[in-house]
């Protein structure tokens, strides 16, 4: 428990440290990959609030990510909005859409919930294809304005993108921590652990689950908004169930559910891996598959569980050494 609380602060501190050291020296390619990692981390952290805290597996989050992206694309390109109001609007609209989906989806539970949200993800993908006046249809939305420049970053758009993405990640992470510590967060944990006991303690489980879903939808929308502005183009394939929906689940499961910091590490591994394996592209998918198998079979609590167990062992062995030294004295 103490180790987990430590990791909750250590991991963000490492991310900030790496950013401070790396951003001034990294080339554009590394900066772009790092920016995508941070985007996926925002998605993963917010999704962990739903999957990790309540245990409900949603496959509709790729769609919600897309809603955020298309909202920003439309507002900044066709309606002349500035980026920051568009970011807020994207988060709000995704949140509202998430709430509507949750109201429907939470009529079911377990595998039925997963299948129902899969259906919503598939329908959403089709909507992105057919609502051509708004989404650009198959061709997607092109010419989306980039992110506004922060002071001192006007000449370095890639660095600017990464810094803004990191700031949004910090907000998402901080908000998720607050959510976890709130009474709603406690209620979500209770729902995940034992629904009947949670009910017997007076917890309104429907409200707890709805809040978790809506919260994760808001930040999925924010991540989508950043993606639209950073890539200057959005197309339906970026938001399909297979592309983003399942991928988000993988970040959280491989990283370690319910920890908030674990999914950040999951996103780092899963996004960086194809880039690292570019030299062995023939085997890239094979190795990716093997890594997933490894985590499911041998480290079901993900990278976070692995690190926590290692920290616990080190802490125990440290105590043994100290007590032996004390005995020797």
Partner 1 sequence: MSLLSINAITQRFGGITALSDITMSVEEGTIHGLIGPNGAGKTTLINILSGLVKPSEGSMEFNGRQNGPWPMASAVQYGIVRTFQQTRVFMGLTARENLRIAHVAGAGDANADDLIEALALGDVLDRVAGELPYAVLRRLSLALALGLRPKLLLLDEPAVGLAPDEITKMAEVIRHFHGQGLTVLLVEHNMRFLMELASRVSVFVQGRLLFEGTPAECQNNPTVIDAYLGRGLKHVEH
By the criterion CB under 8 A, which residues form the site for partner 1? 1-2, 183, 186-187, 189-190, 193-194, 196-204
Query: What's the closest the beta carbon of residue 249 comes to partner 1, in angstroms?
Result: 20
Site of tokens 């394996």:
277
Buried b / exposed e over 220-252, threshold 16 CB at 10 Å, is bbbbbbbbbbbbebbbbebbbbebbbebbbbbb
The residue among 132 and 194 lying less far from partner 1, judged by its C-beta, is 194
The residue among 27 and 200 lying less far from partner 1, judged by its C-beta, is 200
Query: What's the closest the beta carbon of residue 305 comes to partner 1, in angstroms?
Result: 12
- Tokens standing for 22? 């790396």
Q: Do 271 and 230 touch, CB atoms closer than 8 A?
A: no
Rounded-to-integer distance, Cα 72 and Cα 168, Å: 15
The residue among 190 and 254 lying less far from partner 1, judged by its C-beta, is 190
Query: What's the closest the beta carbon of residue 55 comes to partner 1, in angstroms?
Result: 11
Query: What's the closest the beta carbon of residue 258 comes to partner 1, in angstroms?
Result: 9
- Distance from the first to the final alpha carbon of the chain: 31
Q: What residues are paired with 234 via a beta bridge?
A: 141
Work out whether strand 141-142 and strand 233-234 pair parallel, antiparallel, or are unpaired. Answer: antiparallel
The residue among 207 and 293 lying less far from partner 1, judged by its C-beta, is 207
The residue among 43 and 191 lying less far from partner 1, judged by its C-beta, is 191
Q: Do 251 and 263 touch, CB atoms closer than 8 A?
A: yes
**DSSP letter string, 71-82:** HHHHHHHTS---
CA distances from 133 to 111, 129, 140, 236, 250 (A): 35, 10, 10, 14, 33
The residue among 5 and 297 lying less far from partner 1, judged by its C-beta, is 5
Query: What's the closest the beta carbon of residue 306 comes to partner 1, in angstroms?
Result: 18
Q: Which of 39, 41, 110 is nearest to 69 (CA)?
A: 39
Query: What's the closest the beta carbon of residue 187 comes to partner 1, in angstroms?
Result: 7
CA distances from 316 to 84, 165, 304, 312, 323 (A): 48, 38, 18, 6, 11
User: Helix count (H) and strand count (E) of the chain?
Assistant: 14, 2
Query: What's the closest the beta carbon of residue 196 comes to partner 1, in angstroms?
Result: 7
Q: What residues are paired with 141 via a beta bridge?
A: 234
The residue among 61 and 301 lying less far from partner 1, judged by its C-beta, is 301
Query: What's the closest the beta carbon of residue 257 comes to partner 1, in angstroms?
Result: 11
Question: Please, is 149 exposed, middle or buried when counting C-beta atoms within 10 Å of its C-beta (0-12, 13-18, 19+)?
Answer: middle
Helix (H) or strand (E) holding 126: helix 110-130
The residue among 164 and 187 lying less far from partner 1, judged by its C-beta, is 187
The residue among 9 and 294 lying less far from partner 1, judged by its C-beta, is 9
Query: What's the closest the beta carbon of residue 177 comes to partner 1, in angstroms?
Result: 15
């Amino acid at each position: 428990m103490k180790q987990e609380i430590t990791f909750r602060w250590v991991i963000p501190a490492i991310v900030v440290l790496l950013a401070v050291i790396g951003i001034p020296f990294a080339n554009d390619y590394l900066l772009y990959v790092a920016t995508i990692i941070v985007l996926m981390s925002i998605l993963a952290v917010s999704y962990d609030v739903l999957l990790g805290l309540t245990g409900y597996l949603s496959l509709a989050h790729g769609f919600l990510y897309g809603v955020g992206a298309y909202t920003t694309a439309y507002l900044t390109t066709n309606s002349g909005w500035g980026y920051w109001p568009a970011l807020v609007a994207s988060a709000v609209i995704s949140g509202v859409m998430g709430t509507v989906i949750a109201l429907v989806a939470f009529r079911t539970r377990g595998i039925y919930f997963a299948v129902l949200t899969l259906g919503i993800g598939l329908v959403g993908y089709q909507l992105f294809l057919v609502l051509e006046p708004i989404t650009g249809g198959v061709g997607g939305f092109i010419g989306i304005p980039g992110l506004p420049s922060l002071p001192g970053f006007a000449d370095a758009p890639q660095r600017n993108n990464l810094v803004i993405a990191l700031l949004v990640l910090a907000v998402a992470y901080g908000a998720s921590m607050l959510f976890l510590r709130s009474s709603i967060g406690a209620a979500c944990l209770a729902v995940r652990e034992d629904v009947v006991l949670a009910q017997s303690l007076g917890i309104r489980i429907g409200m707890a689950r709805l809040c978790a879903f809506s919260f994760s939808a808001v930040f999925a929308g924010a991540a989508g908004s950043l993606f639209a502005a950073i890539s200057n183009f959005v197309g339906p394939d970026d938001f399909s169930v297979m592309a983003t929906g399942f991928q988000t689940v993988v970040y959280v499961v491989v990283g370690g559910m319910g920890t908030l910091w674990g999914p950040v590490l999951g996103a780092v591994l899963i996004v960086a891996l194809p880039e690292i394996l570019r030299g062995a592209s023939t085997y890239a998918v094979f190795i990716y598959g093997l890594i997933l198998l490894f985590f499911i079979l041998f480290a079901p609590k993900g990278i976070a569980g692995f690190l926590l167990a290692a920290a616990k062992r080190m802490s125990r062995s440290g105590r043994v050494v100290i007590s032996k030294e004390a005995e020797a004295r």
